[in-house]
Amino acid sequence: MSKLLVLINLLVIFLDVFAQPIGNDLISVVVLYRHGDRAPVKAYKNDPYADESYWPLGFGELTNIGKKQQYGLGKWLRERYVDFLPVSYNKNDIKIHSSNVDRCLMSAESNVAGLYPPEGNQVWNDQLKWQPIPIHTTPKTEDAILAQSKPCSKYSKLLKELMEEEPFSSTLDKYKEQMDYFSKNSGENITTLVDLMDLYNTVYIENLHNLTQPDWTQSLLTEEIEQLSGLAWSAYAYTQDLARLRSGPLIDLILNHFENVKNNVEDTPKFLMLSGHDSTIAPLLTAMQVYDNKWPYYASSVIFELREGKNNDFVNVFYRNPTEIANITLPSCDFDCDFDNFQKVLAPVRTSLEDWNKECQQE
């Protein structure tokens, strides 16, 4: 195991120990997290590790490290919400949705194993500290919320047009020589920031798992290229229209959930958990205008907490990565953001699934 993976395990343990329970003014919580550590989604043409035997469960699948990361996140959530979320599982308390991708589904299962170790009458096997918890999902081709892979012709058209505009067009010109170099050595045709991001991602993961890399990759695994990958992530929600079409249904889901909790709508749990991707988190942060152009690491989480205030309910937003949890403040909103104002700030990038479907058909 690489030193970096050992460090990640220690950080997971560290955050588990120092998770602090929250106050008693909490009304509802939504947690969106990225799946845990995975194998590369695919090998590049000249990849010395293209043989799937290097990845026992296959390309794109959750690794044992990823399972530990999500289990640790589940334990951290248990400590943080020990006074809010009962230790015994009850379907009325929580609902878990996952992208219909193996690594997300397995991450959700690993997470709730840490969140809900069975106790008392929920122990059904003395030799197994685990209990089945339902995970809800939607086919990828129909999922506009977590996988965000349901086709949208207007979104695809706008994204393609964006790549021909600033700052993306000049960035491609600036790095053309390097991209040609990467193309020659990788055997892939690296012509866009997304191509570069995909190559960087594969090599980064192989390096993370202590697989010796070809010399040419030294100029790929740099902070500069990582920042370019971050720029590529921001493109998915770079404009208001792109943000609405990419993350709008997700934002609508979160806000509707809080509205339903406030209005005591039947069958609305107080805790909503969403298992997604880096491609779910980065556009959401971009849509909220708080993205720092850094790749959302494995098991990174965006946490929304709805709290009861003296005059009105308010929202706190946090971003948790493997080393820290940070407060997130949206533009025109205090950290303790009045819920009505929170909705107002996000209104331009919020859309219902019904309206999303209609707009996606427009040219």
Integer Cα distance of 186 and 96 in angstroms: 39
CA distance 87 to 121: 12
Question: Which positions are catalytic?
Answer: 35, 278
Q: How far apart are CA 261 and CA 29, in angstroms?
A: 10
Alpha helices (H) along the chain: 3-17, 64-80, 102-115, 153-162, 168-174, 176-186, 193-208, 223-235, 240-262, 278-287, 339-346, 353-360
- Segment holding 337, helix H or strand E: strand 337-338
Amino acid at 70: Q
CA distance linking residue 232 with residue 178, whole number of Å: 16
Q: What is the DSSP code (8-state) at residue 348? A: G
Alpha-carbon span 288 to 328, nearest angstrom:
10
Q: 228 with 175: CB under 8 angstroms? A: yes
